[in-house]
């Protein structure tokens, strides 16, 4: 059959085939990190895909998005906990539940015996064996640039923008999101962002028993190790909810606690609890402070999110203004000259001086996705294969149908 390839009629038909595929057939599923990174439609970006190394390892993790506990047969986790638990205080109790409902009404906020950030914004532990949290940035006029709650499946427009700007950030990843969206997580590390943990299921940490709080951290760093090949050495508590008991658990796992000084409240816009205008006002206020000398002797951190279109678009919109207001925008680890950000020694970040002189990555790229392509191309799940062949069949069907239509007119 001879097709009038370049005729306007065919172009219109091709567009129609595209429409049929887009609207009535499953979106295609990504097959590699590079493939996922090229998708521009958010719905298609968020179409679940199959990645064998994750599927094959799910038995070793708690249920995704459910509060974690140590799996009863996970001997490695149990022995690590047995070791760490010896340095976790037993005289600090959960302050309430994991949803932030605080029943601990007798807590003395004024003396703040547990250095409970949620009540007091305390960042200097009462327990002398613990290091202080990172809340500000030692470098003057510098913003520690970072985003919580990723990887979000629809982050391509945001990450494309960061790449264009040659801007790196600290990404605080939720373990459940990393296993749901491994290619998105790979894109972050391969593009030079620093990866820290943000727990397994994103609940209030001081509401967990010590063993479950350990599991929340343990399985989030295990998820990052599985997908990215590296073990993080930093974490941020969801909602900032941390006290000395939780800090001791994090310290036992080698995780530095990173908090913030200003909250954009971008994360609350989706719930309707705060308006977009209020979020912009929070950004503007932070920028005004940078402009009037508030950060001239010490830089700062504002809480912002890789959570949804609003939080990411607001980050994009405000990037030029932040860049103008601050002398430097750098990942938190870079501001601390933390050149070895992971337990594994084969990966390094630039120093602060190197970064601000233009070397924004060192030998950070080209590793986590070499295993990716082999992992995914050799093993498609039956559902992914079905979705793909469904698309192909429909296209073929549409083309035959339209071919008949063309011949008829
Ligand atoms: C590996 O990651 C780089 C950087 O994100 C990307 O350009 C490349 O396409 C990826 N390769 C594969 C095979 O996914
Ligand atoms: C642990 O138990 C689960 C089922 O509860 C099983 O799927 C998994 O393979 C077991 N893991 C080990 C290391 O034995
Ligand atoms: C136990 O903890 C200590 C530090 O508290 C550490 O040096 C040691 O490597 C740990 N051992 C295991 C088996 O995790
Ligand atoms: C608050 O609730 C937690 C978890 O439900 C419980 O472990 C704790 O004992 C309770 N504390 C008080 C003071 O009632
Ligand atoms: C670093 O080594 C680990 C194994 O120890 C590997 O999984 C990872 O891909 C390596 N990363 C780089 C950047 O070479
Ligand atoms: C909205 O804010 C109120 C008061 O701070 C709080 O009780 C409620 O849980 C919030 N709702 C959501 C959906 O965040
Ligand atoms: C700087 O601006 C902020 C926000 O407008 C204000 O709260 C703060 O008092 C100002 N500080 C100085 C030193 O002017
Ligand atoms: C990721 O962002 C999209 C909006 O682009 C949102 O619909 C989705 O719920 C987000 N995913 C998660 C897990 O928060
Ligand atoms: C947010 O959504 C709009 C409309 O779909 C899109 O044009 C824009 O690129 C998105 N922004 C980000 C950062 O994802
Ligand atoms: C980082 O290194 C630079 C250059 O050596 C130094 O001036 C700065 O004080 C260091 N910052 C920290 C937090 O160690
Ligand atoms: C990355 O850099 C570190 C520190 O400079 C070095 O030890 C390591 O060999 C490098 N790894 C690769 C894969 O180039
Ligand atoms: Zn969060």
Span 35-83, pLDDT tens digits: 999 999 999 999 999 999 999 999 999 999 999 999 999 999 999 999 9
For residue 24, the model assigns a pLDDT of 35
Predicted structure pTM score: 0.84
- Greater model confidence, 283 or 374: 283
Residue 403 has pLDDT above 50, yes or no: no
Band of the pLDDT at 369, cuts 50, 70, 90? very low
Residue 375 has pLDDT above 90, yes or no: no
3-state secondary structure 359-406: CCCCCCCCCHHHHHHHHHHHCCCHHHHHHHHHHHHHHHHHHHHHHHHH
Atom of ligand 4 nearest to the CA of 207: 4
Q: Which of 271, 278, 279, 305 to mutate to test ligand 6, by most ligand atoms within 8 A of the CB atom? A: 271
For residue 362, the model assigns a pLDDT of 78
Ligand 6 contact, 86 CB (< 6 A)? no
Residue range 9-26: mean pLDDT, rounded:
38
Residue range 371-381: mean pLDDT, rounded:
33
Residue range 99-126: mean pLDDT, rounded:
96
End-to-end CA distance of the chain: 15
Cα–Cα nearest to 155, from 163, 144, 166: 163
For residue 364, the model assigns a pLDDT of 52
Sequence-distant (≥ 6) Cβ neighbours of residue 186 within 8 angstroms: 33, 227, 228, 368, 369, 372
Whether 353 and 215 have beta carbons less than 8 Å apart is answered as: no
Residue 248 has pLDDT above 80, yes or no: yes
- Greater model confidence, 374 or 334: 334
Residue 240 has pLDDT above 70, yes or no: yes
Ligand 10 contact, 113 CB (< 6 A)? no
Report the chain's mean pLDDT, rounded to a whole number: 86
Residue range 22-33: mean pLDDT, rounded:
64
For residue 28, the model assigns a pLDDT of 66
Sequence-distant (≥ 6) Cβ neighbours of residue 303 within 8 angstroms: 148, 240, 260, 262, 263, 264, 266, 267
Protein residue with its CA nearest to atom 10 in ligand 8: 308
Residue 12 has pLDDT above 90, yes or no: no
Domains and CATH numbers, the chain: 20-49+379-408 (no CATH), 52-371 (3.20.20.370)
Ligand 3 contact, 80 CB (< 6 A)? yes
Residue range 203-216: mean pLDDT, rounded:
98
Residue 242 has pLDDT above 80, yes or no: yes
Please tell me whether residue 119 adopts helix, strand or coil conformation: helix
Band of the pLDDT at 29, cuts 50, 70, 90? confident
Ligand 4 contact, 104 CB (< 6 A)? yes
Residue range 384-389: mean pLDDT, rounded:
30
Cα of 235 from ligand 9 centre, angstroms: 28
Residue 377 has pLDDT above 70, yes or no: no
Residue 262 CA to residue 259 CA, distance in Å, equals: 10
Whether 194 and 332 have beta carbons less than 8 Å apart is answered as: yes
Band of the pLDDT at 27, cuts 50, 70, 90? low
Judged by its nearest atom, the ligand closest to the C-alpha of residue 354 is 10
For residue 202, the model assigns a pLDDT of 98
Cα of 136 from ligand 10 centre, angstroms: 15
* DSSP H helix total and E strand total for the chain: 17, 9
Question: What would the pLDDT profile of 128-158 be if each residue is shown by its tens digit?
Answer: 999 999 999 999 999 999 999 999 999 999 9
Backbone φ, ψ for residue 360 (5° rounding): -85, -15
Looking up tokens 């022995």 gives: 79
Cα of 59 from ligand 2 centre, angstroms: 6
Share of the chain above pLDDT 90, in %: 80
For residue 108, the model assigns a pLDDT of 96
For residue 212, the model assigns a pLDDT of 98
Residue 9 CA to residue 5 CA, distance in Å, equals: 9
Residue range 182-190: mean pLDDT, rounded:
97
Which of these is catalytic: 114, 133, 148, 190?
148
Residue 391 has pLDDT above 80, yes or no: no
Ligand 11 pocket: which residues have CB below 6 Å?
345-346, 348, 363
Ligand 6 contact, 23 CB (< 6 A)? no
95 is catalytic: no
305 is catalytic: yes
């Amino acid at each position: 059959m001879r097709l009038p390839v370049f005729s306007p009629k065919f172009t219109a038909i091709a567009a129609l085939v595209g429409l049929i595929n887009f609207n009535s057939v499953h979106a295609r599923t990504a097959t590699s990190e590079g493939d996922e990174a090229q998708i521009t439609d958010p719905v298609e970006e968020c179409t679940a895909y199959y990645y064998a190394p994750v599927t094959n390892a799910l038995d070793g993790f708690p249920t995704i998005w459910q509060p974690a506990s140590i799996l009863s047969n996970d001997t490695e986790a149990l022995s690590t906990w047995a070791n760490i638990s010896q340095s976790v205080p037993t005289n600090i109790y959960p302050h309430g539940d994991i949803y932030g409902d605080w029943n601990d009404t007798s807590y003395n906020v004024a003396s703040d015996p547990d250095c409970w950030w949620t009540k007091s914004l305390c960042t200097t532990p009462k327990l002398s064996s613990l290091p202080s949290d990172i809340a500000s940035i030692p470098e003057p006029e510098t913003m520690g640039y970072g985003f919580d709650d990723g990887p979000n499946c629809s982050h391509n427009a945001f990450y494309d923008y960061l790449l264009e700007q040659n801007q790196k950030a600290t990404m605080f990843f939720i373990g459940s999101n990393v296993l749901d969206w491994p290619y998105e997580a790979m894109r972050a590390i391969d593009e030079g962002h620093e990866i820290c943990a943000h727990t397994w299921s994103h609940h209030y940490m001081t509401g967990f028993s010590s063993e479950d709080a350990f599991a929340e951290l343990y399985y989030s760093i295990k998820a990052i190790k599985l997908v990215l090949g590296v073990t993080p050495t930093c974490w941020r508590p969801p909602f900032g909810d941390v006290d000395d008991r939780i800090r001791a658990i994090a310290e036992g796992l080698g995780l530095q606690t990173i908090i913030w000084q200003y909250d954009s409240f971008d994360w609350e816009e989706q719930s309707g609890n705060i308006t977009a205008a209020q979020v912009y006002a929070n950004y503007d206020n932070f920028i005004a402070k940078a402009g009037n000398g508030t950060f001239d002797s010490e830089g700062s951190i504002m809480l912002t999110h890789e959570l949804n279109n609003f939080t990411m678009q607001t980050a994009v919109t405000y990037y030029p203004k932040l860049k103008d207001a601050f002398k430097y925008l750098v990942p938190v680890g870079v501001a601390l000259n933390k050149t070895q950000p992971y337990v594994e020694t084969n990966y390094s970040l630039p120093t602060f001086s190197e970064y601000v002189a233009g070397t924004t990555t060192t030998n950070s790229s080209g590793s986590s996705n070499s295993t990716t392509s082999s992992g995914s191309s050799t093993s498609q799940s039956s559902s992914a294969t079905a979705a793909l062949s469904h698309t192909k069949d429909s296209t073929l069907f549409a083309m035959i149908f339209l071919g008949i239509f063309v011949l008829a007119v």
